[in-house]
């Protein structure tokens, strides 16, 4: 059973590519952003608690996100592809603990890289297509990218040390990035990563 983290800045295409990989390799696509937006849309107590934070572009508290991931891991025997988690070194450490608790092992962390200009362009495009209000506000976008640089980018160092990090070029068309990702996953499945 493979357990993969898809990593990268907002707008790099984690959700799109996680969906493609999940379908192709029969993995459960676990998007913490989708789970949180679902809670907000349903007006659950958790959704009401995190709504303002998400609208500002802040990261949601570790306790909330870790609990969502733990619940999802407990509900499946299938391999997973995580999208949007971990976003901090503390969350990466918590993920290690959760995976051990559920008798799983992290197979690989794939970092998708793209330029800042490309990220902003994609976020604006996504706002039009999906109607996500958090993607339409330039101040929120700037704040989310600053949050990524300050809190999430250090996670790459955490996974470099473990030897689990593989970086790929995420620029260009979706199918180009998808081919690069599939090459990494194919190598992982064959035992060469």
pTM of the model: 0.85
Mean pLDDT, residues 119-126 taken together: 89
Please report which confidence band the pLDDT of residue 33 belongs to, taking 50, 70 and 90 as the band edges. Answer: confident
Please report which confidence band the pLDDT of residue 127 belongs to, taking 50, 70 and 90 as the band edges. Answer: confident
Q: What is the pLDDT of residue 128?
A: 84
Mean pLDDT, residues 49-62 taken together: 81
Q: What is the pLDDT of residue 169?
A: 96
List strand residue ranges (DSSP E) for 59-133, in order. 80-83, 108-113
* Res 44 pLDDT > 90: no
**DSSP letter (8 states) at residue 104:** -
Domains and CATH numbers, the chain: 3-189 (3.40.50.300)
* Res 100 pLDDT > 90: yes
Total length of the chain: 193
* Res 131 pLDDT > 80: no
């Amino acid at each position: 059973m493979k357990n993969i983290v898809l990593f990268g800045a907002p707008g790099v295409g984690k959700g799109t590519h996680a969906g493609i990989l999940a379908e192709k390799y029969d993995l459960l696509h676990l998007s913490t952003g989708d789970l949180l937006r679902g809670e907000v849309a349903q007006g659950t107590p958790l959704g009401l608690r995190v709504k303002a934070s998400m609208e500002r572009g802040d990261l949601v508290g570790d306790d909330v996100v870790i609990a969502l991931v733990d619940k999802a891991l407990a509900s499946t025997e299938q391999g997973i592809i995580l999208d949007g988690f971990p976003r901090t070194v503390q969350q990466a450490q918590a993920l290690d603990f959760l995976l051990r608790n559920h008798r799983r092992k992290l197979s690989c962390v794939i970092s998708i890289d793209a330029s800042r200009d490309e990220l902003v362009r994609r976020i604006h495009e996504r706002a039009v297509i999906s109607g996500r209000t958090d993607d339409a506000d330039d101040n929120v976008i700037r704040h989310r990218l600053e949050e990524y640089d300050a809190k999430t980018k250090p996670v790459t160092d955490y996974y470099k040390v473990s030897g689990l990090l593989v970086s790929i070029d995420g620029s260009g068309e979706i199918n180009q990035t998808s081919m690069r990702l599939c090459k990494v996953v194919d190598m992982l499945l064959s035992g060469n990563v």
